[in-house]
Amino acid sequence: MPGTLNYKHLYYFWVIAREGSLVRASELLDLAPQTLSSQLTALEESIGSLLFRREHRRLVLTDLGQTTFRYADEMFRVADELKSVLDSDPADRPLTLSVGVAASIHKLIAYQLLEPAIKLDRQVHISCHTGGLEALLRDLKSRRLDVVLSDRLPESNPENHWGIHTIGQSSISLFAIPELAAQLRDDFPQSMHNQAFLANAIRTPYAHQLMQWFHDQGIRLDVSVEIDDSALLKVFGRNGFGVFAAPTVIRDEVCRQYQVEMIGEVESVTDTLYAISRNQVQAHPAVEAICTQGASKASKANASKKTD
């Protein structure tokens, strides 16, 4: 489309199309019909095509006019919503929070990490996007995201001055269907030798630690299945295909949701979670809530672990 779209002319077109008449639109806009007609002509000339055709003194949208109206209708509906938000008291305005969640994070944990934002005393519109850490960080840098939740630290780069906040930490536990868990629990971890194991194909930091821990114990696992989706991996576990690992902090929910039981806990292997923001100081109230409350919980968990 040559030139720059004149949004005032587009608005006039939208009102005319919505009202179905130049006369009614001119009354609504408090403009003379001739003035409105000239504005519409200017828009059509800038586009290089007609938006209306006349049929028996009626204005009928052309195919391009119908397409243009659909876009304009969405644009001005959103603009009306924005005006309502801007006219409201600042304390009553809803917050918009765009969160990137590393694909390797258990979704049950991701929800727990987002709870401080969800429970703010004001409305929060949250959109979540999962993916690889590098892609999420690019979106964070370009301001398409407000915060990224990750189970690993970003690579060091002097051009990036990320705010890094430790917001969660948990030991790792092993789970299986009740019959298998009962067989393996008493002599754990030696009972795991040659046991069918369901591995997460997304190489999470704790997964590497866990495999090294088994190696140090002289235990060899039979890695029968590798799956890059933590929920699907648990479904395989629920159907008796083998043992799987998950952070202990979501033990009760994992057992309830997938009808499995915990075999044992590996305290020396931990899953550490981070909130990554563009700056250390948070201007976004929801991001601040995630970082500060998450950091407080992580600190209390560490203190409790040292006491134990």
Tell whether pTM > 0.85.
Answer: no
Residue 4 confidence (pLDDT) above 70: yes
Same structural domain for residues 162 and 174?
no
From the centroid of its chain, how far is CA 117?
A: 13
Domain of residue 98: give its range. 92-167+273-307
| Residue 1 banded pLDDT, cuts 50, 70, 90 | very low
For residues 209-218, average pLDDT? 94
What is the predicted pLDDT for the residue at 92? 64
CATH code of residue 81: 1.10.10.10
Distance from C-alpha of 261 to C-alpha of 93, rounded to nearest angstrom? 44
140-194 pLDDT per residue, tens: 988 899 999 999 998 877 667 788 999 999 999 999 999 999 999 999 999 999 9
Same structural domain for residues 177 and 259?
yes
Q: Decide which of 70, 87, 104 is a domain's last residue.
A: 87
Domain count along the chain: 3
DSSP H or E run through 147 = strand 147-150
Asked, for residue 1, whether it belongs to a domain, the answer is no
Q: Which residue is it, tokens 């949250």?
A: 126
The mean of the pLDDT values for the chain is 88
- Going from the C-alpha of 206 to that of each of 48, 109, 209, the distances in angstroms are 60, 14, 5
Asked, for residue 2, whether it belongs to a domain, the answer is no
Same structural domain for residues 44 and 133?
no
Asked, for residue 231, whether it belongs to a domain, the answer is yes
Asked, for residue 156, whether it belongs to a domain, the answer is yes
Asked, for residue 221, whether it belongs to a domain, the answer is yes
What is the predicted pLDDT for the residue at 89? 64
Asked, for residue 190, whether it belongs to a domain, the answer is yes
Residue 161: φ, ψ to 5°: -115, 70
Same structural domain for residues 155 and 297?
yes
Same structural domain for residues 150 and 205?
no
CATH code of residue 288: 3.40.190.10
38-61 pLDDT per residue, tens: 999 999 999 999 999 988 878 899
Asked, for residue 19, whether it belongs to a domain, the answer is yes
Output 2 or 174, whichever has higher pLDDT: 174
Same structural domain for residues 145 and 287?
yes
Same structural domain for residues 13 and 143?
no
Give one DSSP letter per residue of 263-297, joined into a string. Answer: EEEEEEEEEEEEEEESSSS--SHHHHHHHHHHHHH
